[in-house]
C-alpha cells in the first residue's frame, strides 16, 4: 500500500493553529465493516482540529469496534455498536445522530478502510466554514494524472453512476457521486429526512437527492485515493441495475417536487410540451410505419413530416428544460452557523487545494 501524499505546509499550519476553543466543533464519523486491519492507522492520523471521532461498528464480523476499544488510546474516540448490519448508510446516519447529540457543528465522514487521508479534513470543512457550502464531497477524477491508479472497472462504473446521479440529484456540477469522503454542517444534517435515506450502497447518491430537495449547496473537493490490498464491498456490476431504478425514482420525485409541487415556471411548461409532442410524434410515426408495412405501400412525405416535426420541436423544448435545470443548481447555502468565537481565525484563511 502506498503512503498518503505529504501534507501541504499551509494545511498543516492551519490544522495546528485551530483549537477546540476557537472554532466550531468538528466530529468525524468512521463506519466500520471488515476494516480491522486499517482502522487504527486511520484513527492515528486524525488531525488535532477534530474534537471527537465516532467509530460505528456495523455488526462487523471482524469485531472492529472491540479492536478499537482494546488498542486505541485516543481520548477523542468513541465506539458505537449496531445490533445488526444496517449498511454503510445506516452506520453513517447512526454516526450523525451520535455527533449531533454531542453538539457537533461540522460532521466529516471517512471510511475505515484506509483509502481516505484524514489530513484532507481541512480541505473538506473549509468551504462550509466560509459559508459557501452546506455539504462537501470528494472527487477522485479532478486530477486526471491520478486516474490511472483506479481500477478500470471502477472508472467506467463511476462514470455511468455519475451521469445517472446528475439527472436524479440535480447537481450537474459534481462528479464521483459514490465518493464517501464527505463533510456536512450539522444544521443541514438535522433537516435531512434520515428515516427515508437509503441505508445501503445507494446512500451517497440518495443523500444528494435529499440535499437538493432542501436546496443545499454541494461542493466537490479534489482528492486522491490510495488503492492497496483492501477489498471493496461495493461491486459495481451488481449495483448498476438497482442504482438505475433508484435514480429513475429520485429523478421523477425531484422533477415533481421542484417544477410542479413547489413552483411553476417556464421550465414546467417546456417539460410538459416537450414530453407531449415527442410522445405524440413517436406514436403517430409508429402507427403510420405499421400501417405502411402491413399495406405494402410507402409512407407519404406529409405523414413523415407530421411525425418528425413534433419530435423535433419536442426535443427542443426538452433541451430548453434541461438547460434550465442545469442552471438552477443551488447556489445559496442554507446552513445556520453559530456565532463565531471572537478569537476564531477567519475561515477565509483556509486553503482548499490538495496537499
- The percent of residues above 90 in pLDDT, for the chain, comes to 62
Q: At what angle do helices 266-295 and 301-327 cross, to 10 degrees?
A: 150
Counted residue by residue, the chain has a size of 355
From CA 156, how far away is CA 9, in angstroms rounded? Answer: 35
- Scan for cell 413517436, then name that residue: 282
With beta carbons less than 8 A apart as the criterion, state whether 200 and 315 touch.
no
- From 3.40.50.2000, 3.90.550.10, 2.40.160.60, 3.30.300.30, which CATH number describes the 9-239+340-349 domain? 3.90.550.10
Helix (H) or strand (E) holding 136: strand 135-139
Q: Please, which pLDDT band fits residue 338 given cuts at 50, 70 and 90? A: low
Q: Please, which pLDDT band fits residue 167 given cuts at 50, 70 and 90? A: very high
Tens-digit pLDDT profile for residues 241-299: 788 899 999 999 999 999 999 888 999 999 999 999 999 999 999 998 898 888 888 88
Does the model's pTM come out above 0.85? Answer: no
Tens-digit pLDDT profile for residues 17-31: 444 434 579 999 999
Amino acid at each position: 500500500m502506498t503512503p498518503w501524499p505529504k501534507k501541504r505546509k499551509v494545511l498543516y499550519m492551519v490544522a495546528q493553529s485551530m483549537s477546540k476553543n476557537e472554532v466550531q466543533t468538528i466530529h468525524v464519523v468512521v463506519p466500520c465493516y471488515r476494516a480491522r486491519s486499517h482502522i487504527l492507522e486511520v484513527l492515528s492520523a486524525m488531525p488535532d482540529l477534530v474534537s471527537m471521532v465516532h467509530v460505528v461498528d456495523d455488526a462487523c464480523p471482524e469485531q472492529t469496534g472491540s479492536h478499537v476499544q482494546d488498542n486505541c488510546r485516543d481520548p477523542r474516540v468513541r465506539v458505537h455498536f449496531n445490533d445488526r448490519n444496517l449498511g454503510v448508510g445506516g452506520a453513517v446516519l447512526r454516526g450523525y445522530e451520535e455527533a449531533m447529540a454531542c453538539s457537533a457543528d461540522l460532521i466529516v465522514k471517512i471510511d475505515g478502510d484506509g483509502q481516505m487521508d484524514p489530513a484532507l479534513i481541512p480541505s473538506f470543512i473549509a468551504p462550509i466554514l466560509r459559508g459557501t457550502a452546506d455539504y462537501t464531497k470528494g472527487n477522485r477524477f479532478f486530477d486526471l494524472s491520478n486516474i490511472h491508479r483506479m481500477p478500470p472497472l471502477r472508472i467506467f462504473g463511476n462514470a455511468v453512476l455519475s451521469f445517472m446521479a446528475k439527472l436524479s440529484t440535480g447537481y450537474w456540477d459534481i462528479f464521483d457521486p459514490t465518493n464517501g469522503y464527505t463533510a456536512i454542517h450539522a444544521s443541514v444534517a438535522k433537516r435531512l429526512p434520515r428515516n427515508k435515506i437509503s441505508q445501503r450502497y445507494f446512500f451517497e447518491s440518495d443523500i444528494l437527492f435529499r440535499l437538493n430537495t432542501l436546496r443545499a449547496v454541494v461542493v466537490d473537493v479534489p482528492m486522491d485515493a490510495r488503492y492497496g490490498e483492501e477489498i471493496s464491498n461495493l461491486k459495481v456490476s451488481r449495483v448498476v441495475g438497482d442504482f438505475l431504478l433508484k435514480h429513475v425514482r429520485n429523478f421523477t420525485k425531484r422533477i415533481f417536487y421542484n417544477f410542479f409541487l413547489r413552483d411553476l415556471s417556464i421550465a414546467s411548461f417546456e417539460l410538459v410540451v416537450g414530453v407531449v409532442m415527442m410522445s405524440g410524434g413517436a406514436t403517430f410515426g409508429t402507427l403510420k410505419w405499421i400501417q405502411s408495412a402491413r399495406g405494402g405501400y410507402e409512407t407519404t412525405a406529409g405523414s413523415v413530416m407530421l411525425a418528425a416535426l413534433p419530435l423535433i420541436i419536442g426535443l427542443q423544448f426538452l433541451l430548453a428544460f434541461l438547460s434550465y435545470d442545469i442552471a438552477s443548481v443551488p447556489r445559496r447555502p442554507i446552513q445556520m452557523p453559530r456565532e463565531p468565537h471572537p478569537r476564531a481565525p477567519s475561515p477565509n484563511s483556509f486553503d482548499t487545494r490538495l496537499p
